[in-house]
Amino acid sequence: MNYIILIFQSTHRTLLAEKVLLGHGIKFDIIPTPKEITSDCGMAIRINPSLTNKGMVISILNDSKIDFNLYEKWMQ
């Protein structure tokens, strides 16, 4: 499946995003940052686009002023 991968500047920001997204009832998981993407920090947020609306996630993070980079990646 083609997943959405969100990468943040620091571990702190990743976990802040986790807290904010959980607060909005968003489903996602935390994975080790895939090597091909970048090594910004050790962990990344992975979203299954068939379960979660990408636009909604983007707008929640923007509203909370949490910067991120978004990638799409084929994963098993």
Partner 1 sequence: MKVYLDNSATSWPKPPAVLDAMSTYINEYGASPGRSGHGFAVRAAREVFETRELIASLFNVESSERVIFSANATHAINIALKGLLKKGDHVIITHMEHNSVRRPLKYLKSIGLIDVTIADCCEKGYVDIDKLTSCFRENTKLVVTIHGSNVSGAVMPIDRIGQICKAKGVLYMVDAAQTAGFIPIDMQNDSIDILVFTGHKKLYGPPGIGGLCIRNGIHIDTLIHGGTGSRSELDVHPDFYPDRLEAGTPNTLGILGLKAGIQYIIAKGIDSIRERLGQQTAFLINALKGIDEITLYGPGTSENRLPLVSMNVKKISPSQLALTLDSEYGIMTRAGLHCSPLAHQTLSTLPQGTVRFSLGCFTTDKEIDYTINALKRIITS
Residues lying near partner 1 in the complex (CB under 8 A) are found at: 9-13, 15-16, 18-19, 30-33, 39-44
Q: How far is the CB of 38 from partner 1 (least distance, A)?
A: 8
Name which of 19 and 56 has its Cβ closer to partner 1. Answer: 19
Q: How far is the CB of 10 from partner 1 (least distance, A)?
A: 5
How far, in Å, CA of 1 to CA of 76, rounded? 6
User: CB 39: neighbour CB atoms within 10 A?
Assistant: 9
Name which of 38 and 59 has its Cβ closer to partner 1. Answer: 38
The 10 Å CB-count burial string (b at 16+, else e) for 56-71 is ebeebbeeeebebeeb
